[in-house]
Chains A and B, each alone.
Chain A
Amino acid sequence: MYDFAYHKPSSVADAVAARSGAEDGTYVAGGMTLVPTLKQRLAQPSDLVDLGGVGELKGISVSGNTVTIKAMTTHAAVANSSEVQAAIPALAALAGGIGDPQVRNRGTIGGSIANNDPAADYPAACLALGATIKTDKRELSADDFFTGLFETALEDGEMVVSISFPKPEKAAYQKFDNPASRYALVGVFAAKTGSGARVAVTGAGQDGVFRVPAMESALSTNWSAGAVDGIAVDAGTLNADIHASAEYRAHLITVMAKRAVSAAG
């Protein structure tokens, strides 16, 4: 790891100021992706602005039909939250399946979506549930937020503050693990919402998380596993590696989508 200057602000305002004052700074949330990246010397930030001391970035609240999770809330906190479990059980279950227990005790929802790892779980939930991402500057829809592999609409220095999830009628997430890394080889989040079905896929796309319109329209008229049977994503748009060819990923997307719909009930 290359050395860097370290900052631990206690407010969002101070964090933004520290970040903007740095030559080539970066925020660190839980650090579950950033620290390993730094250890491998794949990044060399001048400054690390640690959000761990910003109390206003932690917490879960449910208001009406909306679950709001602040950015520095850990995966374990989401998984174990009785409010999330009651409002959107699929979201709690997804959080409870991220990484391993130690990652869940440290990793945060804000860090996960700001990083937008193509194999991360949360982006699928955000996209399928039609979440709204609030930053220190603005609000963005999930559809606008995730823009590509490790790419988001966040501007330099912009920080995720919270994510709001509208409560769906029903939803479920099914993940097929990479056998080695245990990241999602394919993860499908299927949600039935008041305005129709939404299906988002992580782990598989060449451009990161994406929606599957064909499955969405089929499920909007007929919410059943059978409705997505036979609907395949074009393998030409998918990743290939030693663990899964694009064709295998395409196949798994359909299988996981069916299972997600079944699990959602």
Chain B
Amino acid sequence: MPTVSMTVNGKQVSGEVEGRTLLVQFLRENLHMTGTHVGCDTSQCGACVVHVNGDSMKSCTLLAVQADGTDVTTIEGLADGDTLHPMQEAFRDNHGLQCGFCTPGMVMSAVDLVKKNPKASEHEIREWLEGNICRCTGYHNIVKSIQQAQQTM
């Protein structure tokens, strides 16, 4: 079995995987980091979004071996100790989550947006979220959360 090594949330990790092991499986099953979720099998829902070398990607559509040598950030690595990341804080302030299942991917995607397009309009925010499906919130408060984080990030 191939061995993969990568940096996850600042820590060097490695493990033996099958070629077919997805990055999300490596995170959840090998590293027991269950914050990253799986909500679909067609790469559409975005519950599994993590950052790979600083870009948001769907960890259910990436083989663990493809992520060998990369720097991965998951939802568990976003906060600074007990201090929430401004995006996390914004979601809490604006009730941008309900059941919490899509939230990790939604937050990771939103952080990537604000980094790349800090002044995104409401329309651009909604378009950016095309790859993240939420069934609870109707997106209204997610958009509001991201707009707050545009000011605080």
A and B touch in the complex (CB under 8 A): yes
**How many whole Å from A71's CB to the nearest CB in chain B?**
16
Q: Name which residue of chain B comes closest to A105, CB basis.
A: B55
Q: Are B62 and A76 in contact (CB under 8 A)?
A: no
**How many whole Å from B86's CB to the nearest CB in chain A?**
20
**How many whole Å from B25's CB to the nearest CB in chain A?**
10
Known A52-B66, A99-B131: A36·B61 in contact at CB below 8 Å = yes
CA distance A51 to B130 in the complex (A): 27
Q: Are A103 and B131 in contact (CB under 8 A)?
A: yes
The answer to the question of B46 belonging to the interface, with a C-beta cut-off of 8 Å to chain A, is yes
Q: Are B19 and A6 in contact (CB under 8 A)?
A: yes
Q: Are A102 and B109 in contact (CB under 8 A)?
A: yes
Q: Are B20 and A3 in contact (CB under 8 A)?
A: yes
Q: Are B41 and A102 in contact (CB under 8 A)?
A: no
The answer to the question of A243 belonging to the interface, with a C-beta cut-off of 8 Å to chain B, is no
The answer to the question of B56 belonging to the interface, with a C-beta cut-off of 8 Å to chain A, is yes
Q: Name which residue of chain B comes closest to A47, CB basis.
A: B19
The answer to the question of A100 belonging to the interface, with a C-beta cut-off of 8 Å to chain B, is yes
The answer to the question of B58 belonging to the interface, with a C-beta cut-off of 8 Å to chain A, is yes
Against A, the Cβ 8 Å flags (1 = close, 0 = not) of B45-81 are 0100100000111101111011010000000000000
Q: Name which residue of chain B comes closest to A107, CB basis.
A: B61
**How many whole Å from B129's CB to the nearest CB in chain A?**
8
Known A3-B19, A36-B42, A101-B56: A182·B61 in contact at CB below 8 Å = no
B2 cross-chain contacts in A, Cβ below 8 A: 6
The answer to the question of B113 belonging to the interface, with a C-beta cut-off of 8 Å to chain A, is yes
User: In chain B between 22 and 41, which residues have their CB closer than 8 angstroms to a CB of chain A?
Assistant: 22, 41
B112 cross-chain contacts in A, Cβ below 8 A: 101, 105
A31 cross-chain contacts in B, Cβ below 8 A: 61-63, 66
CA distance A250 to B113 in the complex (A): 36
Q: Name which residue of chain A comes closest to B20, CB basis.
A: A1
Q: Are A32 and B41 in contact (CB under 8 A)?
A: no
B131 cross-chain contacts in A, Cβ below 8 A: 99-103
The answer to the question of B141 belonging to the interface, with a C-beta cut-off of 8 Å to chain A, is no
The answer to the question of A214 belonging to the interface, with a C-beta cut-off of 8 Å to chain B, is no
B62 cross-chain contacts in A, Cβ below 8 A: 31, 35, 106
**How many whole Å from A113's CB to the nearest CB in chain B?**
19
Q: Are B43 and A32 in contact (CB under 8 A)?
A: yes
The answer to the question of B18 belonging to the interface, with a C-beta cut-off of 8 Å to chain A, is yes
Q: Are A102 and B57 in contact (CB under 8 A)?
A: yes
Of the candidates A2, A4, A35, the one whose C-beta lies within 8 Å of that of B61 is A35
The answer to the question of A242 belonging to the interface, with a C-beta cut-off of 8 Å to chain B, is no
Against A, the Cβ 8 Å flags (1 = close, 0 = not) of B1-33 are 010000000000000001110100000000000
Known A2-B20, A3-B20, A8-B68: A101·B128 in contact at CB below 8 Å = yes
27 contacts between A and B (CB under 8 A): A1-B20, A2-B20, A3-B19, A3-B20, A6-B19, A6-B63, A28-B66, A32-B61, A35-B22, A35-B43, A35-B62, A35-B63, A48-B63, A50-B66, A100-B130, A101-B56, A101-B109, A101-B112, A101-B113, A101-B131, A102-B46, A102-B56, A102-B58, A102-B109, A103-B43, A103-B131, A105-B55
